[in-house]
Amino acid sequence: LAGDPPEPGHSDLVVVANRLAVDRVVEEDGTTSWRRSPGGLVTALAPIMTRQEGAWVGWGGSPEEELDEPLEPFTHEGMHLVPVALTEGELVEYYEGFSNSTLWPLYHDVIARPEFHRQWWDTYQRVNARFAQAAAATAAEGATVWVQDYQLQLVPRILRRLRPDLRIGYFHHIPFPPVEIYAQLPWRRPVLEGLLGADLIGFQRRSDVSNFQGAVRRILGSSFRSNTVQVKEHDGGARTVGAAAFPISIDVDTITDLAQDPDIQARARQIREELGNPRTILLGVDRLDYTKGIRHRIKAFSELLEDGRLSVEDACLVQVASPSREGVDSYKELRDEIELSVGRVNGTFDTMGHTAIRYLHHSYPVEEMVALYLAADVMLVTALRDGMNLVAKEYVAARGGWGGVLVLSEFAGAADQLRKALLVNPHDIDGLKEAIMEATEMSAGEATKRMKAMHRQLVTHDVNKWSRDFLDRLGGAVPAERSGPED
C-alpha cells in the first residue's frame, strides 16, 4: 500500500484529520485566502501546535481538479498545514462513499442502511495510505502523531509500518457500535487492525470502549486487560495498545465571553422580538443529518400543537439545520422529508403574526449561535445516536447561571456528563412530548439549579483538558495499568 519510507520531517506533533484546520475563503476580488476553522478541535489544539512546531495534515476542501495547481504545505497563524489532495472521484468513493455511506450509518446504529461497495473500500485504503505518507513525511524523529476520526482508521497501522519510531494516537469522534452491528462490515478485520496500529485509541464514552474491546475479542481473538491489549507485530514481537474514554468538550471560555458581550445579548433580545415574543422559544441546532432526530423533534412539537397543549402564540421552535454532505443520497432524502414536514406544520398552525417552526437551512457564525442560545428557553438535542454532541455543551456554556432547560437524548455522548439535563429517549414520542412540556413549564429556580450544576461540570472539563488528558496518556512510555480519567 505504502511505498518507500519518507525521510523524517521537522514537526514534533502532527495532527492528521480528514479536513485541514483552515477553510479556504474566496474574497470579493476573487482571490482566495485561508481562515482558521471555528471548530473546537482546532481551537483546542492551535496553542499546543504553535508551541511545539506542530503540523496539521488534512484535505484542503476542494477537489484537485478545481485547483490551478496542487496545494503545497504552508504556514498559517503559526501552524504548519500539509494539504492532502483528493480527486473528484476519490471524494465520491472515499468521503461520500465509504466514510459517509458505509461507516457513518454503520457506526450510528444503522439508522440509515449502510452500503458496502468493494470499489469504495479500495479507494478508502488508497486515500488512507496517502494521509499516512503525508504524516510520515512531516513528523520528526520520535514525534507524536494524533490521527482523528473514522475517515482515517487505517492510518495508524500504515504509519507505524512507515515510521516505527513514532508515538501514534487515534481518537474516534463518533460512536463505536456493538459487535453485532460492527460485524456486518466486510472489512471488519483490516479496520480493527488499522486502529490497533496506534499506541492509544480514544473514544467518547465508556460504552464505545467496551464495544471496541468486544469487537477486538470476537473478531481478532485478542482480549483487553485493564484497558490494554497485546498486539503481535509482523517481526514476532508484541506491542501494548491502550483504549480508553476521553469525552471531548468545547472551548468554554470563548462561548462564555461571547455570552457576556452586550451586543450579542442585544441580538438575543432582537431575535425574540422578531419571532413575535412567544412565551417559550425552543431551539434545535444540528447538521442536517439523520442521526440528529430532527424528524422526531418536529413530530413531538407538532403533536403538542395539535393536542392544544402548546399554541404558536406561546411557543416557537427555531430549527437551524446546517447543510451537510449534500452529495449523499440519504442526506438529500432527509432534507426533502424535513422540509415537507416543516411546511405541513407551518401551513396548519401558523397565524399571520406567529410561526410554529422557524426553519433555517444555513450555518451561522458562532456569535449568532450564542445569541440564539441566549434567546432560547429550551434547547432540544434529540439525537438518535451521537458520539458526543457539542451543541448541548455550547448551550450550557452560553447559559451559565441564566437558566434555560436542556432536553438531551440519552443516545448522545454528552448525556454521560450533563446528568442534570432532561434526559429523553427520542424514539418515545410521548416521552419526548412530556419532556418538552416539563421544560416549558419548569420554574426558573429549578432550571437555574440544573443549569448551574451542568455548567460546573463543563468549566472543569473543557476541550483543553480533553487534549491534555489524551496527549499525557499517549506520552507515557507504557500505557498505565490504571484506566484513564473518565473510563
Identity of residue 338: I
Query: Is residue 280 at the binding interface for ligand G6P, with CB under 6 A as the rule?
Result: no
170 versus 349: smaller Cβ distance to ligand G6P: 170
Query: Is residue 149 at the binding interface for ligand G6P, with CB under 6 A as the rule?
Result: yes
Query: Is residue 173 at the binding interface for ligand G6P, with CB under 6 A as the rule?
Result: yes
Find the binder of ligand G6P among 19, 157, 160, 292 (CB under 6 A).
Answer: 19
* Smallest separation, CB 176 to ligand G6P (Å): 12
* DSSP state letter for 20: -
Distances (CA, A) of 361 to 37, 131, 368, 465: 20, 32, 14, 33
Q: What is the β-pairing status of strands 79-84 and 74-76?
A: antiparallel
* Smallest separation, CB 131 to ligand G6P (Å): 13
Percentage helix, strand, coil for the chain under 3-state DSSP, each rounded to 5 = 45, 20, 35
Q: How many residues sit in the footprint of ligand G6P (CB under 6 A)? A: 6
Q: In sequence order, which residues have a C-beta less than 8 Å from that of residue 203 and are 6 or more positions away?
A: 171, 172, 176, 209, 212, 243, 244, 245, 246
Query: Is residue 286 at the binding interface for ligand G6P, with CB under 6 A as the rule?
Result: no
18 versus 228: smaller Cβ distance to ligand G6P: 18
For the annotated catalytic residues, the residue numbers are: 173, 386
* Smallest separation, CB 149 to ligand G6P (Å): 4
Q: Mask 311-350, x = binds ligand G6P (CB under 6 A)?
A: -------------xx-------------------------
* Smallest separation, CB 172 to ligand G6P (Å): 9
Give the H or E element holding residue 214.
helix 206-215
Identity of residue 263: D
386 versus 469: smaller Cβ distance to ligand G6P: 386
Query: Is residue 394 at the binding interface for ligand G6P, with CB under 6 A as the rule?
Result: no
Coil/strand/helix, residue 481? coil
* Smallest separation, CB 441 to ligand G6P (Å): 33
Restricting to residues 85-114, name those near ligand G6P by CB under 6 A.
none
Give the span between the Cα atoms of 64 and 74, in whole angstroms: 17
Query: Is residue 363 at the binding interface for ligand G6P, with CB under 6 A as the rule?
Result: no
Find the binder of ligand G6P among 14, 15, 174, 282 (CB under 6 A).
Answer: 174
Q: In sequence order, which residues have a C-beta less than 8 Å from that of residue 354 and are 6 or more positions away?
A: 276, 278, 312, 313, 316
Strand partners, 386: 412
173 versus 297: smaller Cβ distance to ligand G6P: 173
Residue least distant from ligand G6P (Cβ): 173
Residue 232 phi/psi, 5° resolution?
Answer: -75, 135
Restricting to residues 203-222, name those near ligand G6P by CB under 6 A.
none
100 versus 355: smaller Cβ distance to ligand G6P: 100
Q: Which long-range contacts (CB under 8 A, 24 or more apart) does 210-215 make?
A: 211/175, 211/176, 211/177, 211/178, 211/179, 211/182, 212/172, 212/176, 212/243, 213/243, 214/178, 214/179, 215/176, 215/179, 215/182, 215/183, 215/188
154 versus 231: smaller Cβ distance to ligand G6P: 154
Query: Is residue 392 at the binding interface for ligand G6P, with CB under 6 A as the rule?
Result: no
* Smallest separation, CB 467 to ligand G6P (Å): 16
Give the span between the Cα atoms of 49 and 45, in whole angstroms: 6
* Smallest separation, CB 325 to ligand G6P (Å): 5
- Provide the greatest CA pair distance for the chain: 75
List of residues contacting ligand G6P (CB under 6 A): 19, 149, 173-174, 324-325
